[in-house]
Amino acid sequence: MVRWSQLWNAEGQDRRHQAQDEMSALLPTSNRHNHPPPPIAPRDVTIIALRLKHQIEQVVPCELEEEQVIRAHSSIITDAVLETAKRAGAPEHNACVVFCLLQVKKWFETQASAELWDADLHQVRAVAAEMMAKRLIEAEEDTQYLFEEVLLKRYSTLVDGEASTPTNAVEKAVDLHAVTVIGASGYQKCISYLWRGWLVQDDEDPSRFVTFDNKTNTSYWAHLDPDRMRVPKYQNWVQIAVSLIFLGLYTGAINTINPSGDLDVVEALLYIFTLGFICDEANKFWKVGRFYLSFWNIFNSTLYALLTVSFVLRMVAFAHPTDTDRDPRRAYLNKMSYDFLAFTAPMFWMRLLLYLDTLRFFGAMLVVLKVMMRESLIFFALLFVVMVGFFQAFIGLDVADDQLANDVVFITKAMLNAVMQSPEFEGFDNFSPPFGIILYYIFTFVVMVILLNILIALYNSAYEDITQNAIDEYMALFSQKTIQFVRAPDENVFIAPFNLIEMFFLILPFEWWMEEKRYDKLNDCVMATIYSPLLVLTALLEQQEAWSVKENRRRGEEDEDTTQEWEQVLAECDFEADGWDKKVQASRPNVEFDTAVLEVRQLRKEVGELKDLLVKMMDRGSSDNGKGWGGDTLGESGLAKVEAGNLGMGESSSNGGREE
């Protein structure tokens, strides 16, 4: 039975960690309650998840090595275990089994954090749930059923008696960072279809994903549709192009300084782009809330804030006369404006990494940097405590000095230099000798020898963990980027700075009074005008893809199949006819089991054959004995009587001998 105390604990922990789960989610939107109800009742989904949780607790009853669970042909996650898991929702709710396994993984991870004494056991069970989900995905042969029912249909579970936010298995895996599931072939194929726009959200039911209607339409005009800007691949192209233009505007503005302080066209466009990005960030933060904040959001917000300060200083400078001899404040404010603008140069170039993460090299390095920054929090927490303690000690040693402000600046600078591995020992002799210099030596030793080596060890550990699993981590990052585009898409895609056009020329003057159909048509016309250069190119590419899909279907191949060089002559080969396949099958090794297991099985087979041979020989010998007594073959009962008679004769002989 399921231990209800564990279930209660898991659900309680699930509720307490809801904020963390929401923070790990990509784009939890505030309008999810407008979606249609899930196809399966949340209570039924929760019961299926509990069945799977009970199964995994029985399959993994004690602590095991993760290698035993995740390796190919595992003796733990067997085919029988997977078949049982498939029947957890039988027969009508089998589609949600993968989603429920991911939910079970989340429950086990919650239990691992709550029950530290069994943390290793719960972690192994979480790994088992993730591995079972991956193998079920890879075992499903019906691609359409896998995409539309298993991976992309949204389900809910019960939390404190209320239905949770509907989500699908693709989103759940990204939220939980389940790289094993994300690395499954079927999962990646689904992500590829979403990225290409072959799977799109249904206009009537946004919670459903359907196949793109014009996937095999070879007409060019059928693909010249502004709604295709919802495709993640095309949105990514626009973002990269806008980022390069934004960088070009900044380069032109910083290299063409106007001594008079007037705004030229390049600077005006730079600040217009900045306004568009600020409005986009504010809109997403308003929709999502504080859970939208992440490293890149904070990084971009800092950049936009510095550019805003530069723009405000420039506007304030316009309020002063151009005669610098009479009023030098205009020149000073303009200089400050350019100083802030120049200060943002490294951030502009680093910002490109945010849009180049679809490339494998940059994507893997971004994952490493993200993990390193997270590991740095431990170092900075220790460093802050140590620095505050030593700073207070130095201030206490020099409390009698009247120049406290100067001492604070000197102590802060010296301590920061020590952190940067450039300590300055001069000057601490004046802090109540010899205590000041001794204390600074101790501080330098603690920071440079202990804390910095801890930081290096953390960085090394993070780098090794990521690089050893770099491919799965990159696929997880790519999946996250894809889901960001399709999880909470805008009905009308206006990428910053084009969102200013939507705000000031569509929403404000028309949306509040125009009927919905006419307003949608107006948006389509505006998007078609804005994105016309890209739409001309994408329509041509999609037309070529349609020809390829039709050709692949004619040959009976997958839609995305590409003929490789080794496949060009493959049709002329018949390995069964020429006997090559028979030779290969006869010589191929059995990699499903260890050599020792195979040898034992072979020995067992031979012993069985020997046993059968001995039984036949005994039967034949018994038959021959029967013929000697009666001329006919004796049955088992007759043979038993003969043996009893022989025994009786022996006994009477022996008795007669004794009597004589």
Q: pLDDT (tens digit, 9 = 90+) per residue, 228-258?
A: 999 999 999 999 999 999 999 999 999 887 7
pLDDT of residue 264: 85
Q: Which residue shows structure tokens 């971009």?
A: 300
Amino acid at 11: E
Radius of gyration of the chain (CA): 37
Q: What is the mean pLDDT of residues 204-208?
A: 76
- Cα–Cα distance, 170 to 479 (Å, whole number): 8
281 is written with which tokens?
């960030």
Backbone angles phi, psi at 158, to 5 degrees: -90, 130
Angstrom CA distances, 264 to 80, 259, 312, 350, 537, stand at: 72, 12, 16, 26, 33
> Widest CA span of the chain, in angstroms?
157
475 is written with which tokens?
């696929």
Q: DSSP state, 159?
A: E
Between the CA atoms of 301, 307, 312 and 313, what dihedral angle is there, to the nearest 10 degrees? Answer: 130
User: In the structure, how many helices (H) and strands (E) does the chain have?
Assistant: 27, 4
Cβ pair 398, 431 in contact under 8 A: yes
Residues 436-448: b if buried by 16+ CB within 10 A, e if exposed: bbebbeebbebbb
Statement: residue 348 has pLDDT above 80: yes
Statement: residue 630 has pLDDT above 50: no
Structure confidence by residue, pLDDT tens digits, 12-49: 444 444 444 444 444 444 343 455 677 889 999 999 99
Residue-wise DSSP of 599-633:
HHHHHHHHHHHHHHHHHHHHHHHHHHHHHHHHSS-
The percent of residues in the chain predicted with pLDDT above 90, rounded, is: 40
3-state secondary structure of 201: strand
Angstrom CA distances, 304 to 245, 307, 635, stand at: 16, 5, 100
pLDDT of residue 399: 63
Of 388, 366, 385, the C-alpha closest to 377 is 385
Backbone angles phi, psi at 631, to 5 degrees: 85, -20
Of 133, 18, 11, 12, the C-alpha closest to 70 is 133
Q: What is the mean pLDDT of residues 448-473?
A: 85
3-state secondary structure of 163: strand
Cβ pair 129, 102 in contact under 8 A: yes
Q: Which residue shows structure tokens 């039967």?
A: 619
Q: pLDDT class for 644, splitting at 50, 70, 90?
A: very low
- Cα–Cα distance, 151 to 161 (Å, whole number): 25
Count CA atoms closer than 13 A to 186's CA, side-chain side.
24
- Provide the pairing of β-strand 199-201 with 209-211: antiparallel
Statement: residue 657 has pLDDT above 60: no
Structure confidence by residue, pLDDT tens digits, 102-143: 999 999 999 999 999 999 999 999 999 999 999 999 999 899
- Cα–Cα distance, 342 to 251 (Å, whole number): 10
Structure confidence by residue, pLDDT tens digits, 279-310: 999 988 887 777 777 788 889 999 999 999 99
Statement: residue 533 has pLDDT above 60: yes
Instruction: Return mean pLDDT, the chain.
Output: 83
Statement: residue 649 has pLDDT above 50: no
Count other C-beta atoms under 10 Å from residue 424's C-beta.
14
- Cα–Cα distance, 475 to 178 (Å, whole number): 11
Q: What is the mean pLDDT of residues 213-217?
A: 90
pLDDT of residue 231: 92
Cβ pair 30, 295 in contact under 8 A: no
Burial class (CB in 10 A: 0-12, 13-18, 19+), 529: exposed
Structure confidence by residue, pLDDT tens digits, 61-88: 988 888 888 888 888 899 899 999 999 9
Residue-wise DSSP of 413-454:
HHHHHHHTT----TTGGGSTTTHHHHHHHHHHHIIIIIIHHH
Statement: residue 159 has pLDDT above 80: yes
Maximum mean pLDDT: which of 266-275, 330-339, 350-359, 634-643: 266-275
Q: What is the 3-state secondary structure (H, E, C) of 347-403?
A: HHHHHHHHCCCCCHHHHHHHHHHHHHHHHHHHHHHHHHHHHHHHHHHHHHHCCCCCC
Residues 602-629: b if buried by 16+ CB within 10 A, e if exposed: eeeeeeeeeeeeeeeeeeeebeebbeee
Q: What is the mean pLDDT of residues 570-593?
A: 84
Statement: residue 633 has pLDDT above 60: no
- How many residues belong to the chain? 660
3-state secondary structure of 567: helix
- Cα–Cα distance, 656 to 660 (Å, whole number): 6
Of 292, 293, 287, the C-alpha closest to 32 is 287
- Cα–Cα distance, 108 to 176 (Å, whole number): 12
Statement: residue 628 has pLDDT above 60: no
Angle between helical axes of 360-397 and 404-419 (0-180°, round to 10): 140
Burial class (CB in 10 A: 0-12, 13-18, 19+), 137: buried
Of 637, 656, 659, the C-alpha closest to 648 is 656
Maximum mean pLDDT: which of 167-171, 353-357, 485-489, 648-652: 167-171
pTM for this structure? 0.80
pLDDT of residue 622: 77
Could you tell me which residue, 589 or 178, shows the higher pLDDT?
178
Between the CA atoms of 488, 491, 492 and 493, what dihedral angle is there, to the nearest 10 degrees? Answer: 20
Q: Which residue shows structure tokens 């389900």?
A: 155
Lowest pLDDT segment from 218-227, 421-430, 649-658: 649-658
- Cα–Cα distance, 644 to 622 (Å, whole number): 14
Residues 107-135: b if buried by 16+ CB within 10 A, e if exposed: bbbbbbebeeeeeebbbbbbbbbbbbbbb
3-state secondary structure of 43: helix
- Cα–Cα distance, 461 to 514 (Å, whole number): 58
Q: What is the mean pLDDT of residues 590-613?
A: 83
- Cα–Cα distance, 103 to 367 (Å, whole number): 25
pLDDT of residue 626: 57
pLDDT of residue 20: 43
Say if residue 434 is preceded by a cis peptide, omega within 30 of 0.
yes
Statement: residue 449 has pLDDT above 80: yes
Q: Which residue shows structure tokens 């021959």?
A: 624
